[in-house]
Structure 1
Amino acid sequence: MPQLLPFPRYYHLPPGITEALPVTRNGIRGLHPFPFVATEGARWPVLSVRNGESGHQITAICGLLPASAFHDGTVLPHERTLSARLERQQRMVTADRGALGKPVLLTVPTLGTLEPPKSLDDSDRQVIFYGENHIYRLSASPVALRRPVALPGPLVIADGHHRAYTHAALAADGLKEFQYIPVVVAGADRLTIGTFLRVIDVQDREPEALLAELGKHFFCERLDRPRLVASSGQWLYSYRGVHYHLTRRDTSVSDTDPGWLNQVVLPEVFGITDTRTDRRFESLDPPAVLAGEVYFSPDHHGRAKFLGKPITRDRFFSEVQAGKTLPPKSTRFEPRVPSGLLVWIPE
């Protein structure tokens, strides 16, 4: 079983309530004035997150994993990384000597008895951050513990592939500041798996011609308004204010919806063979949805948009355990951990 180690110390804002976190994307050690304080002693911090609208709450355990766990199969990836982001991440963390302002989010099917209680001690030691949609509470574990915690498996990266694999690669080169990676571990039975909006620059292609090409792969149902799809194998497609539900013609496909779209539809219809490098393609945060109706940004009116059905938890873990990886930006786990809440600065 993977062994989660306690932080010898971790950094955070002074306890209390805040509505803004320090910007850490350009480094941590050089921040001036330095905004963080340290909690000393071998502890596993507890992160509690509550959705401000639904009231849904999760609690997760935080700690350190050896960087080698990300190379030896202990921790599994679920999507392919972007080369440009890996290079940028490596430059930043090398200059900052391994400091990270955002832990890697890991998930397991369930934490079970390891899941911290939801009713955490509301003491003056908590850091409480009011984010856009969630309320985050970071608490020190009630007692100092020095034994590693055995985590259940499979243990999968939910968010933070580039952070994890940059640190792991530098650790493999023998750099001591990268030997451990800060993580937040949450049960997938508590997280929500969403999806990203795929936006494509179709270079002013006529809607009728584009729909005819898509019709080779999909049954196309025109809609009076953009509505979420109900099942896998379907996509909401929108271009120039006209909306369709697309249903895949080939029902024998075993690949995931994002994988099939990338391997078949994007090359044949749009000439896009690598979404990681083709500038015509973007994966964006999903648009607002109200009562099942999707509200696209007017900035994307002249671009083709695809919004699919999120992958199920069972399918997600079965794909990962089979050694498969999804295309970049195929899944969006919520809630994610914000930058600047739990900070790791190796000595």
Structure 2
Amino acid sequence: MFKIKRLKNGIQNYGSKITGDIGVFISVSILLTASLFDKQNTNIMKSIILFCVILIGVLLFLWIKRYITNIYLEKVYKRNVEILENSLAEQQEINRELRQSNEELSGIIHRDNKLIPAMESAVEEILACNAPDEQKEKSKALLPQLKVMSSERSTILTDYENLHKALVQTGIFSIDASLKYLMKRANKDGISFDLSVTCDMKESVKALISENDLNTLILDLGENALIAVREAKKRNVLVVFGTENESFIISVYDSGIPFEKKVIDNLGKRRITTHKKTGGSGIGLMTAARLLRKHNASFVIDENLDSDSYSKRVSVIFDGLSQCRIITATNKITRPL
């Protein structure tokens, strides 16, 4: 049984946390039952003892499996609570950084108000020169200063824009908090994070999925995208809520490398990741697949995008089909999730 990947990986990751009287009772029961096995027993007695050992072993397997699942769900719950508890502190930090950025912008404006007229006079002086060599010499002296000014201004304005970019509101407080959490992580790693909402979220999701499950999906898919682009040259992530063929859809676009074949082949079957060094564990996609089966939703991977900003799209479609659909430049695969 311990050759089963999910059980083996679960025990490796959470083995030290698997405790409880039920586990002790089942384990002792296996030992006591197995100790009754003796060569002198009749074949019927041996069969009964063997059946009991197997039955109790299956109970132990199911108990460990359930315990591992509960540990992960507890992890998800703590993550959601942490997001909500930190909302006020984040807002205070944003206000502090906003005041600091405003002071920096005020300094730039104050400096530019004095330097721009001076630069204007310098350019007029260059244009007034009759000798080409003199014009060239003065232009060379002025150009480095202009480049320094432009670079400083561009850096500060870009940081200001990323730090204080306001996301579109979904109308669901917990979802907005989760998206702010993802945006904060993206800003920390220098990743561009955007959001688009093209439907009424409250009306679209209320009969489809609970807020807790929806938050888990958004956070798992969003974190996977952030991990995927962390080492990429272009680091862009876009989350889109909308409808497709009258079905509610969540799409996460990113500029990371395409999924490897082994990840696609094992999607929904067992945990696997190609980003272990950058924080990937594979458990996010496994949890997403479990939630999709629970709600009869489909999982779509589209790597055939006509976009310079994004290389692939991972979507969850609440179409009642419970399918896994993979679209590449050369192939299209559809199979049960």
Both structures adopt the same fold (TM-score exceeding 0.5): no
Q: TM-score, normalised by structure 2?
A: 0.24
Larger Rg: 2
Tell me which protein shows more helix as a share of its residues: 2
